[in-house]
Amino acid sequence: MLFYRESNRFLALALMSAVFFLGGCASNKATSLDALKSVPDYQYLIGPGDNVNIFVWRNPEVSTSVPVRPDGRITTPLVEDLQASGKTPTELARDVEKVLSTYIKDPSVTVVITGFIGPYSQQIRVVGEAAQPRALPYKEKMTLLDVMIAVGGLTEYAAGNQTTLVRRINGKEHSYTVKAADLVKDGNIAANVYMLPGDILIIPESWF
């Protein structure tokens, strides 16, 4: 247990240091949470581990269900090693149609996704003093409260109000301080903010 906590603490400190080094330190530290109170439209992107159901109209022999491989590709009847990860279901359907058009006249393809893991670049990562630090699939309009529930809240050692949210905006790392303790322990809903795909939450340990 002690080894786990020390490893977890080391990982959180290492991530914090990397964020400050790559993101420009305090120059990107937000003094307001206004930027976190809204969320843009979201389109789900396929990721490794998702299950892809491909329906080809009037061609059941090439309709199938396959998993997205760890390399992000799929193989189906007549379609080999097609990149799926990072695409929307509609984009993948059009790509499958393009390949099948060599063999089938005017194929019409529908892609349905199940599993919903998504690419790693869109997952929410929680490290540090969360009860169950881990990566979470992003869901539309996901909030800090949703994430805290999913990871089991804060540990008794957490400095929750010093939680850092790291977000990439236009290719640059930005960091914000969010008050996870006020939200989780005191029920202060004003501390709730929206998450975006790829966000990282770093929950430090209290020194007191």
Number of domains in the chain: 2
* Same-domain check for residues 14 and 61: no
Domain housing 27: 2-42+120-203
Give pLDDT, residue 80.
Answer: 96
Which whole number is the average pLDDT over 120-132?
A: 97
Beta pairing class for 200-203 and 163-169: antiparallel
* Same-domain check for residues 94 and 169: no
| Any domain includes 12 | yes
Which whole number is the average pLDDT over 190-196?
A: 95
| Any domain includes 208 | no
* Residue 86 and residue 119 in contact, taking contact as beta carbons nearer than 8 Å: yes
Reported for 131-134, long-range contacts at CB under 8 A and 24+ positions apart, including other chains, are 131/155, 133/8
* Same-domain check for residues 124 and 38: yes
Q: pLDDT tens for residues 57-105?
A: 999 999 999 999 999 999 999 999 999 999 999 999 999 999 999 999 9
Give pLDDT, residue 41.
Answer: 86
* Same-domain check for residues 164 and 190: yes
| Any domain includes 195 | yes
The residue type found at 130 is A
Q: How far apart are CA 149 and CA 69, in angstroms?
A: 30
* Same-domain check for residues 95 and 131: no
The pTM score is: 0.80
Q: How far apart are CA 49 and CA 52, in angstroms?
A: 9
* Residue 204 and residue 163 in contact, taking contact as beta carbons nearer than 8 Å: yes
* Same-domain check for residues 91 and 189: no
